[in-house]
Amino acid sequence: MASSANNNNSTIKIHDKCFVPPPNSSSPQQFSLPLTFFDLVWLRFHPVERIFFYSLPTPHSSLHSLLHQVVPNLKDSLSLTLHHFLPLAGNLVWPSDSNKPLIQYNLGDGVSLTIAESFQDLNHFLVNSPVEALDSRSLVPNLESSDSHASVISLQITLFPNSGFTIGISSHHAVLDGKSSTLFVKAWAYLCRECQLSNQESPSLVPELVPIFDKEAIKDPNGRDIMFINMWKQLSSLFDPNNDCSSNERTLKIMSSAFPPLVDDRVRATFELTRGDLDKIRKRVLSNWDMVDDDDDDDEDVVNPKLSSFVVTCAYVSVCIAKATEEESKQKGNSSSNNENKFVFGFNVDCRAKLEPPVHENYSGNCVCGHIVDAAKPEDFRKENALVIVAKKIYSKVRSFDSLEGAVDGIETLFYRGMMMLKEGVKGIGVAGSPRFGVYGMDFGWGKPEKVEITSVDRGITIGMAESKDGSGGIQVGLVLDKHVMPIFNDLFHGGLC
């Protein structure tokens, strides 16, 4: 059953709630940016929520030290960072004379920052073994949204006296994709670290961390922006019946009824695939590659495929999820409906280098396209050779992204089609994050994070993906599953690596 709670506030004490603005001396009176079709496809989607966990030695983690040293450094450097990421200090608004919303910053705007103290043990969150999914919700802030406006980003610093602290971030997906939001955190960490090391009040940001907000670089000759605005109107009437879309077609309110945190009777756990594990799975797939028929089998690239770690991880984890879900259903003695045990897999592809001309690598905004890998038969994710079947499907889909046409093919209808599949009972498995983001390099001056978690994977069946903490080339996977499904998944996941 879905829980509407976004925070378990009984476990924390709020010390302060404030808005952190960019430095006034460097801010314009007003600043606005349009939204591209890449942005509008996520207009009312749930925020992306991530937590960075930091441990500190006892002398540096007393409540006094955290409140009077750590927090001020984080706040001051956040303000400096917003000078470079000015749109993040603003809001999404929908002017009456515009047919689509935009990002607007007015002098005095800032990012919402909550300073909290947790009564829980930090080590409780650092383990990889399953913990209650609800627990992490106390460490991420709400992202405010209403009919008239929506915040771009919201932050929470949670102090764990004599242990360390966490940074929770909620970002609006219509403004930032995963690469953009991690670029912001990297810049914030860099400036915070530089302020402490160099004693400079306003250190310069290195070029590789400077964001590019050139929205004009995203061309939309097919009018996809209006298509997606209309799509959200349709989805609103289907998934948000309490919202009278006919009387308010310009709402910016996040469609929370369609994407609530699913935390009741669910647990959160982290799994590791080492480079050796990935090689083992890759060899297993390739050794059985010819046993599965595919329309493209005569293609030389498919006869001699080079399977990326992304493809291997997605295939292996999604098959384990599907089989664990099926096994748990059998143990309950549930009878299957036509769609109950049908799974689809979806993921995003970065289009920055695929656009013509390509946009800058540090383009900040959305520049991703979603795609669905729909196995040919309902039971494909659960067959004996499901790993090979699914790996082939994902590999074939990834190969189609070589061109811009392939990367954006079907984008106009894909999100709506995926949402309708979920409404009809098909189980969707998605991916959040990427091992290329380098989240374990986020050092604010007190060392690298002990753990990084994509909290919002609890809003569906989503594979939270990051690089291994030790930098050895492996992949970290975060999941939230039904508490009865998780132990079966655990056995399948580790058993398959033996």
What does 343-407 look like in DSSP terms, one character per residue? EEEEEEEE-TTTSSSPPPTTB-S--EEEEEEE-SSTTGGGSTTHHHHHHHHHHHHHHGGGSHHHH
Q: Counting every residue, how long is the chain?
A: 498
Q: Are the C-beta atoms of residues 104 and 31 closer than 8 Å to each other?
A: yes
Do 300 and 152 lie in one domain? The reply is no
Can 443 be counted among the known catalytic residues?
yes
Q: How far is CA 317 from each of CA 362, 462, 477, rounded to the nearest angstrom?
A: 30, 10, 9
In a domain, 152, yes or no: yes
Domain check: are 230 and 338 in the same one? no
Give the bridge partners for 49, in sequence order.
170
Determine the pLDDT at residue 5: 38
Domain membership of residue 251 (yes or no) is: no
Q: Is residue 165 part of a domain?
A: yes
- The pLDDT value given to residue 295: 57
Contact 155, 78 (CB under 8 A): yes
d(C-alpha 379, C-alpha 401), whole Å: 26
Co-location of 423 and 388 in the same domain: yes
Asked if residue 260 belongs to a domain, the reply is no
Same domain as 358, residue 231? no
Give me the pLDDT at residue 412, please. Answer: 85
CA 212 from centroid of its chain's CA atoms = 21
* Interatomic CA distance for residues 468 and 278, integer angstroms: 12
CB atoms within 10 A of CB 95: 12
- The predicted pLDDT at position 296 comes to 53
Tokens describing residue 416: 């709506």
Positive or negative, the CA dihedral 421, 368, 2, 93 is negative
The gap from C-alpha 218 to its chain's centroid, in whole angstroms, comes to 22
246 belongs to a structural domain: no
Which residues form the domain of 297?
Answer: 266-495
**Residue 73 sits in the same domain as residue 219:** yes
**What DSSP line would sit under 61-113, residue for residue?**
-SHHHIIIIIHHHHHHHHHHHHHHSGGGGSEEE--TT-SS-EEEEETT--EEE
Selected catalytic residue, list 173, 350, 458, 482: 173
Co-location of 314 and 380 in the same domain: yes
426 in the same domain as 288: yes
97 token code pair: 């004379």
173 part of the active site: yes
* Phi, psi for residue 35 in degrees, rounded to 5: -105, 140
Residue 200 shares a structural domain with residue 288? no
Residues 270, 222 within the same domain: no
Pairing of strands 475-482, 451-454: unpaired
Handedness of CA 296, 298, 301, 302 (dihedral sign): positive
The three-class DSSP label of residue 52 is strand
Nearest Cα neighbor of 469 from 128, 103, 21, 157 is 128
Q: What is the pLDDT of residues 426-452, one digit of tens each?
A: 889 999 999 999 999 999 999 999 999
- Looking at residue 378, what is its pLDDT? 54
Pairing label, strands 343-350, 427-433: parallel
Nearest to 120 by CA among 78, 155, 75, 166: 166
37 plus 84 within the same structural domain: yes
The count of domains in the chain is 2
Q: Determine contact, residues 134/450, Cβ cutoff 8 Å.
A: no
Please state the pTM of the whole predicted model.
0.94
d(CA 194, CA 190): 6
Q: What is the pLDDT of residues 119-149, one digit of tens each?
A: 999 999 999 999 999 999 999 999 999 999 9
**48 phi and psi angles, rounded to 5 deg:** -90, 125
User: Residue-wise pLDDT tens for the chain (498 aa)?
Assistant: 333 334 556 789 999 999 999 998 767 889 999 999 999 999 999 999 999 999 999 888 999 999 999 999 999 999 999 999 999 999 999 999 999 999 999 999 999 999 999 999 999 999 999 999 999 999 999 999 999 999 999 999 999 999 999 999 999 999 999 999 999 999 999 999 999 988 777 899 999 999 999 999 998 888 999 999 999 988 888 776 665 444 567 899 999 888 899 999 999 999 999 999 999 999 999 999 998 876 555 455 566 789 999 999 999 999 999 999 989 988 887 755 555 668 889 999 999 998 888 999 999 999 998 888 865 555 678 778 899 999 999 999 998 887 677 778 888 888 888 888 888 888 899 999 999 999 999 999 999 999 999 999 999 999 999 999 999 999 999 999 999 999 999 999 999 998
Residue 472, H or E segment: none
Q: What's the pLDDT score for residue 7?
A: 52
Identify the residue whose tokens are 């480079």: 275
Q: Are both 125 and 235 inside the same structural domain?
A: yes
CATH number assigned to the domain comprising residue 95: 3.30.559.10
CB 467 within 8 A of CB 476: yes
- Please, what's the b/e burial string for 234-252 (b: 16 or more CB within 10 A of its CB; e: otherwise)? ebbeebbeebebeeeebbb
Q: Domain ends where: 222, 239, 256?
A: 239
Residue 114 covered by a domain: yes
Residues 152 and 108 in one domain: yes
Residue type at 196?
Q
**257 in any annotated domain:** no
Q: Which residues contact 223 (CB under 8 A, 6 or more apart)?
A: none
| Centroid of chain to Cα 368 | 12
Q: What share of the chain is helix, strand, coil (3-state, %, to 5)?
A: 40, 20, 40
Asked whether residue 261 is assigned to any structural domain, the reply reads no
